[in-house]
Chain A
Amino acid sequence: MKEVITLRVNKEEYEILVPAKRILVHALRDDLDLIGTKIGCEEGACGTCTVLIDGKPVCSCLMLARDAQGHEITTIEGLMEDGKLHPIQQAFIDYGGFQCGYCTPGVILSAKGLLDVNKNPTEEEIRLAIAGNLCRCTGYVKIVESIAAAAEVMAGKT
């Protein structure tokens, strides 16, 4: 049996007809064509499907789409403003914060979850914030540098 659910994603409302078992990441990718959110382990261990729910990082593979109703969902597609990349996205380009790029959307959303509440994080705090995001290219040094650089831009220091 299917039901109509309403999801608010990147400040836009979508109505979709889905079975109760539809997992959020599949609704985002298959029903809404928002394929920036990637699928990895599908059990909460790799973080590549990370989205923000009311500003907080969660694994979209461990949430029913119907349970995301009434919440503000942010995916990587929602970060650009006025045609400009978000400072975190720009920093990942400027500081080489990715190799294959598969973990990048999830890592950037985890970073946003951190930087929105902590303007001046230590390296330890950055590493803790992305501890739930696996990078199989193992390029964590550049990722941490990118996030630290983005923090400075967002705080208006550079």
Chain B
Amino acid sequence: MKNFTVFDPTTVAEAVSLLAEHKDEIKVLAGGQSLLVLVKQGLVAPAYLLNIKKVSELKGINPQPDGGLRLGALTSHSEVLNSPVIREKYAVLPEMAIKVGSVQIRNAGTLGGNLSHSEPAADPPPVFLALDARVKAVGPNGEREIPLSEFFVDFYETVLAPDELLTEVIVPPMPQGAKGAYFKFARKKAVAFAMVSVAAIVSLSDGKINDVRLGLGGVGQTPLRAIEAEEVLKGKPLDEKVLAEAAGAVMSVVDPVSDVHASAEYKKEMAGVFTKRAVREAAARARGDR
């Protein structure tokens, strides 16, 4: 492994100016659970690492006056799992967080790092997509908010510019009466990426689906929001016919790749199956059945 120089900024401004100065030669180091693997394997060989763990502005789980939530980029998966505030308002987040890697990885890995790494089969993206989250990015020319649905570009690529730092994940309030569910299909219960994963947020009104949002992981080059399937479900009573239609809509937009775990065809089929399961479960929770 090639040696590198590490910077330890203590403010976002300092961090961003170092990014701007070294652009393509520098990588951001947060929890290191993805980056250090790539560095050790020689897949990336940065001359500089920007260690952001001393930037206190990037820490904290902050409930907002509008009922939403702001999560600092350095929030660990364990913090998401154990936060009483998150558990109370967004139970689907700990339901997801416990499926990330292992205890060791959850203790070290961060939300900002996970999202910026843009691994299409990671657990957080589908859930934050279904929660309609945004991320805040700070660059030399100021800050911007990016809807997560526009954030992922390709395998390990996001819309972040080389001199931009993801500083915060912004989660809007849950829709009135909505509940979420997250289903992950993998070969193992731990240290496994999803073959397919589906997050559903569902609210009901008069026995019909009022609002629904679907996030999917593992089914293509990026995690995705399944808008077409959401449109199929909205305003309909939840029955097997409409679930099958939604599953069909999901299967027509996903584009998984074959790998050692499963064929693309199988993953596509499972994307439909797990969409049905996630929507059914979120709806049952919204009804108060469980």
Contact = CB atoms under 8 A, between A and B. Distances in A.
B37 A62 contact: yes
Contacts of A66: 6
Chain A interface residue bracket vs B: 20 to 34
A154 interface: no
Interface stretch (A37-45, A89-97, A135-143): A37-45
Contacts, number: 82
Nearest to A113: B103
Contacts of A56: 78, 107
B101 A132 contact: yes
A59 B105 CA distance: 7
Interface string B96-113: 001001111101100000
Interface in A54-94: 56-59, 62-64, 66-67
A67 B51 contact: yes
A1 interface: yes
A110 B41 CA distance: 26
Contact of A110 (B2, B36, B104): B104
Interface in B1-56: 1-6, 29, 32-33, 36-37, 39-41, 49, 51, 53
B5 A110 contact: no
Nearest to B108: A58
A129 B3 contact: no
Contact of B1 (A21, A114, A128): A21
A66 B4 CA distance: 12
6 contacts: A50-B104, A64-B32, A67-B29, A67-B53, A131-B189, A132-B102
